[in-house]
Chains A and B, each alone.
Chain A
Amino acid sequence: MRVVDILSQESILPQIQGRTKTDVLRELAQHLAQHTQGVDAEHLVAVLLDRERLGTTAIGEGIAIPHGKLSGLKDVVAVFGLSPHGVDCSSLDGGLTRLFFLLVVPEDSAGVHLKALARVSRLLKDKAFRERLLQGGSQADLHRLICEEDNNL
């Protein structure tokens, strides 16, 4: 699985407005729902918040990978967003979170879920690449950067 298979250019949010974790999750979910048939944003927000209650998905190094399962979904879908200021998401290393990668997977898909997590983690592993993302840009700029890095994995 490649990141570009699950993340379209339109799925990128170059400037997240939310200043709290809940606001950011709502923003990401609304964006995903706009671009994915059959996804209800409010339901997705509830699923994501339920998952966060089990432990933060802000895994440190400025990254959060909020995720959840939705029944009726056919394929994994993603939204990538950048927060210009950083958000306190109770991250594991105590730092602010600026890179948000929302992953929504079909139900009963443990294998696909792990593969998507692994690919996104590989994409974001390189610090120099993360810094290039953090410099920001348009949807097209960010999508191009991600495609290039994805091709090198």
Chain B
Amino acid sequence: MTAHLQTQLTLLNAMGLHARAAAAFVTALKDLAVEVTVSWKGQTANGRSVLDLLTLGAPQGSVLELRIRGDDAEEALATLTRLVTNRFDEE
């Protein structure tokens, strides 16, 4: 069943959504059947593209708005929430 989920996640790691964090975000979605968009400050990026996520330039403290759609939406939501709240396993 295709689910449609939405959540807000705050970037806690000092570096914000830098290259390594964006790569971890995309990699976490690798085997999941979902479309993810990440919006911040009026810009929206494809959550499956590192290039796109980096265009946001979102620093520590940013509140990201995620929209997740697809068969694996619930798993994607749980995985991404864990990743971001665990500071991408940084510092």
Count B interface residues, CB 8 Å. 23
Q: Give Cα A60–Cα B59 distance, bound, in whole angstroms.
A: 22
A-side interface size class: 20 to 34
B23 CB within 8 Å of chain A: yes
**What is the distance, in angstroms, from B59's C-beta to the closest C-beta of chain A?**
6
Q: Are the C-beta atoms of B59 and A110 separated by less than 8 Å?
A: yes
Query: In the complex the two chains form, is B18's CB within 8 Å of A113's CB?
Result: yes
Judged by a CB distance under 8 angstroms, whether A125 is at the interface is yes
Decide if B23 touches A122 in the complex (CB within 8 Å). Answer: no
Are A110's CB and B14's CB within 8 A? yes
- Is A114 in the interface zone, CB < 8 Å from B? yes
Interface string of B1-39 (1 = CB under 8 A from A): 000000000000011111110111011000000000000
CB closest chain-B residue, reference A65: B19
Contact B51 A114 (CB under 8 A): no
A121: nearest chain-B partner, CB-CB: B54
A114 pairs with B17, CB closer than 8 A: yes
Decide: B54 and A118 in contact? CB cutoff 8 A: yes
Q: Quick one: given A59-B51, A60-B51, A121-B55, are A114 and B18 in contact (CB under 8 Å)?
A: yes
In the complex, the answer to whether B49 meets A60 with C-beta atoms within 8 Å is yes
Q: Is the CB of A125 within 8 A of B51?
A: yes
Contacts of A121 in B (CB 8 A): 51-52, 54-55
Bound form: Cα–Cα A121–B54 in Å: 6
- Enumerate A61-108 residues with CB–CB distance to B below 8 Å: 61, 63, 65, 67, 92
Chain A residues near B15: list those with CB within 8 A: 110, 113-114
Residues of chain A touching chain B, judged by Cβ–Cβ distance below 8 Å, are: 54-57, 59-61, 63, 65, 67, 92, 110-111, 113-115, 117-122, 124-125
